[in-house]
Structure 1
Amino acid sequence: MGAKSKVKRREKGEVRLELPPSFEAELSGFLAWVQLEKGLAKNTVQSYENDLIQCAQHLHSQGVSGWQAVELVNLSKWLASMSEDEYAVASLARKLSAVRMLAKYLVGEGIMTEDFTELLPNPKKRRRLPDCLTIEEMERFLSAPDLTRPLGKRDRALFELMYGSGLRVSEICMLPMTSVDCEEGYARVYGKGSKERIVPVGKHAATAIRNYLHGGRPQLVKEGTGGELFLSIRGKAISRKMVWVLVKDYARKAGIEKNLSPHGLRHSFATHLLMGGADIRAVQEMLGHADIGTTQVYTQVEVERLLDEHANFHPMAQKSD
């Protein structure tokens, strides 16, 4: 495979890139090495070639004479230019991986004495949370089930507990009746890694669960029904897929345009608690997060919301200099 080949297609658009001659010799040796010595697949080698030609083209435009003249600032500008073009973080990481492997090859071959990628940080993928409902939207959603029907009682209790206690969909599907104590206001939940945690059961959820246990669940029991709290129409434990379908269906009935999912109820639980001033450590414990950093994502969401509110409504924020 020759390093002079052109990039057939960029991930964005149809731009063709030529390899600057001053970058050719080292790249040709590298491509032969990864294919013959490392045994990488043809498609992988082709991807490396495309990414490195693109990198070389941008370096050349900065006045860099060849791979041996590359500095950290040059690569930073290259990555920044692609970020501005709205490349996916995964694409940026892949391109940077190709450059890192090339640098290690050049150092290993004695062509360079230092790895010019050593201090270059990996692109950070911003965690995107599922859509979070406002409190008003949540009230509409929770009111959507028809409480005159057994399935409506089940669905109301299901959603009240998921939102009120921040449960994962897998946790609520397998939750035994015996794990919920409506009188004391708590439930024992087995989360990831079979770790047990205690979660609060609020008054609204407790009332909905009692109504379901007296006027909903008995109608769903069939021969062979187990001890799970929430049952399907066939008398089996409700499935994760069915919960997804129910959440989507009731969100539509409630006139909610956001892309709500079962996980979105859990995110709404955490966000609303923090909005109300709850301690982040308490929220971490209720969610069953092993790492506080996972929970801190919600604080960032709330900070961004407050900044947006300030920018949109504060008179001085809208005033130009």
Structure 2
Amino acid sequence: MGTSRGRRTTRPDLRRLRSALPADSAAALDSYERHLRLERGLSEHTVRAYLADVVSLLGHLHGIPAEDAEASPGAVGPGEASPGDASPGEASPADASAVAFAELDVATLRGWLATQRSAGISRTTLARRSASVRTFSAWAHRAGLLEGDPGARLVAPRAHRTLPGVLRAEQATDVLAGTASGAEQRDPLALRDHAIVELLYASGVRVGELCGLDMPNIDVPRRLLRVFGKGGKERFVPFGAPAERALDEWLTAGRPALVKASSPPAVFLGARGGRIDPRTVRRTVHESVGALPGTPDIGPHGLRHSAATHLLEGGADLRTVQELLGHATLATTQLYTHVTVERLKAIHDRTHPRS
């Protein structure tokens, strides 16, 4: 079984922080959430990530002390406050500060980023959170909640673009051989896990796209997946013969053993018959890859990185890989060219007599 090789940075209890916001900030946050969900149609994961950053910023604006308890950064949805918390707009320490939401300015944004930096947050995360609050301030200005757009004047730290961890082609083969060996006992969960790892590597789809697959979205004979990516964008993704075999075994021998009358039409089910959770998929991948000595610590996104890298190393062009992965811009896909160049350099240094 794979082991975790790192720990997440502790974050404040954002549910409590949201419930303590004054009425004007709580109302702005509720409106922003509706905008993200209904107007922009963002995924649940993306909405929660945006809200987590904004809740943290508004807590800083109003001087609300962060709770000591740990919480998931996504646990900030409406109606999720812990028992005993104040409802949004009720009396709280923030009300006494008399700081209005309309007073949000660039100095507040810079101060918030400074506290994040002091807490040891990485430059990459700081850059992402800066982009998140800039999006929020731009929306608040358009909605007439702020007189100006303070985020437009915010200079964020540049993220370090690190090379993604990927499996070598032979490592990917060995990992898949390991999951196939486990599936030979015909245990339903082992069949499912083998199909998941095969399909993630074969198609390069995101973990959310995989979990969202329904039976009508998959064409096994033609080896095609119909997935809905970021922003609900639809695309068709092919997969190979090994993944087809693993998927067929899961659908004919594994899934029927787990499906219940209440089960959704999801391709992949959990042990209790519900739609599989992304956390289960991540755990499956970590354990499958971690079972092979010498592999990098990767999850589903690492398999996506590996698939893209191996496609490029096999001669696929960038535009094709961009389409397969569902990247909005070619610049994102170009990151994988750096991976292949680094590999070429490493091989050259190791094998050329005059390296």
- Which residue number in structure 2 is paired with residue 29 of structure 1? none
- Which residue number in structure 2 is paired with residue 135 of structure 1? 169
d(CA) in 1 for partners of 2:125 and 2:270?
A: 42
- Which residue number in structure 1 is paired with residue 326 of structure 2? 288
Cα RMSD of the aligned pairs, angstroms, is 2.8
From the superposition, tell whether residues 282 and 91 of structure 1 become closer, same or farther in structure 2 (CA, over 3 Å). closer
Q: Does the CA contact (< 8 Å) of 2:213 and 2:268 recur in 1?
A: yes
Q: Is residue 302 of structure 1 aligned with residue 340 of structure 2? A: yes
Q: Structure 1 regions of 5+ residues with no counterpart?
A: 1-37, 52-87, 94-120
Residue 159 (structure 2) aligned to one of 111, 125, 128: 125
d(CA) in 2 for partners of 1:155 and 1:240?
A: 13
Q: Does the CA contact (< 8 Å) of 2:281 and 2:300 recur in 1?
A: yes
From the superposition, tell whether residues 91 and 268 of structure 1 become closer, same or farther in structure 2 (CA, over 3 Å). closer
From the superposition, tell whether residues 230 and 122 of structure 1 become closer, same or farther in structure 2 (CA, over 3 Å). closer
- Which residue number in structure 2 is paired with residue 219 of structure 1? 257
* AA of the residue aligned to 2:167: L
Q: Does the CA contact (< 8 Å) of 2:171 and 2:295 recur in 1?
A: no
* AA of the residue aligned to 1:141: V
d(CA) in 2 for partners of 1:243 and 1:138?
A: 17
* AA of the residue aligned to 1:310: H
Higher relative contact order (CA closer than 8 Å, sequence separation 6+): 2
Residue 161 (structure 1) aligned to one of 199, 206, 213: 199
Per-residue deviation, 1:141? 1.2
Tell me the alpha carbon deviations over residues 121-176 of structure 1, each in whole angstroms, 9 at most, x when there is no partner. Answer: 98743322431001111112112231121111111111111110001000001101
After superposition, residues 74-113 of structure 1 pair within 5 angstroms as 89=123
Q: Does the CA contact (< 8 Å) of 1:130 and 1:261 recur in 2?
A: no
| Count of aligned positions | 214
Residue 271 (structure 2) aligned to one of 226, 233, 246: 233
Tell me the alpha carbon deviations over residues 192-246 of structure 1, each in whole angstroms, 9 at most, x when there is no partner. Answer: 1111001002111111111111110000112300100000000011101111111
* AA of the residue aligned to 2:304: R
Per-residue deviation, 1:288? 0.3
Tell me the alpha carbon deviations over residues 271-313 of structure 1, each in whole angstroms, 9 at most, x when there is no partner. Answer: 0000001011000000000100000000011111112222232
Q: Does the CA contact (< 8 Å) of 1:162 and 1:266 recur in 2?
A: yes
Q: Does the CA contact (< 8 Å) of 1:129 and 1:267 recur in 2?
A: no
Partner secondary structure for residue 228 of structure 1? coil
Q: Structure 2 regions of 5+ residues with no counterpart?
A: 1-104, 128-154
- Which residue number in structure 1 is paired with residue 313 of structure 2? 275
From the superposition, tell whether residues 203 and 195 of structure 1 become closer, same or farther in structure 2 (CA, over 3 Å). same
Partner secondary structure for residue 337 of structure 2? helix
From the superposition, tell whether residues 91 and 272 of structure 1 become closer, same or farther in structure 2 (CA, over 3 Å). closer
TM-score, normalised relative to structure 2: 0.55
Q: Does the CA contact (< 8 Å) of 2:195 and 2:247 recur in 1?
A: yes
* AA of the residue aligned to 2:338: Q
d(CA) in 1 for partners of 2:124 and 2:237?
A: 36
From the superposition, tell whether residues 289 and 311 of structure 1 become closer, same or farther in structure 2 (CA, over 3 Å). same
What percent identity do the matched residue pairs reach? Answer: 42
Partner secondary structure for residue 178 of structure 2? coil
From the superposition, tell whether residues 152 and 294 of structure 1 become closer, same or farther in structure 2 (CA, over 3 Å). same
d(CA) in 2 for partners of 1:91 and 1:170?
A: 21
After superposition, residues 1-321 of structure 1 pair within 5 angstroms as 40=107, 44=111, 89=123, 124-145=158-179, 146-147=182-183, 148=185, 149-317=187-355
* AA of the residue aligned to 2:340: E
Q: Does the CA contact (< 8 Å) of 1:182 and 1:201 recur in 2?
A: no
Tell me the alpha carbon deviations over residues 54-105 of structure 1, each in whole angstroms, 9 at most, x when there is no partner. Answer: xxxxxxxxxxxxxxxxxxxxxxxxxxxxxxxxxx757999xxxxxxxxxxxx
Q: Does the CA contact (< 8 Å) of 2:188 and 2:253 recur in 1?
A: yes
TM-score, normalised relative to structure 1: 0.61
Per-residue deviation, 1:44? 3.9
From the superposition, tell whether residues 258 and 151 of structure 1 become closer, same or farther in structure 2 (CA, over 3 Å). same
Q: Does the CA contact (< 8 Å) of 2:311 and 2:321 recur in 1?
A: yes
Q: Does the CA contact (< 8 Å) of 1:130 and 1:260 recur in 2?
A: no
d(CA) in 2 for partners of 1:143 and 1:230?
A: 20
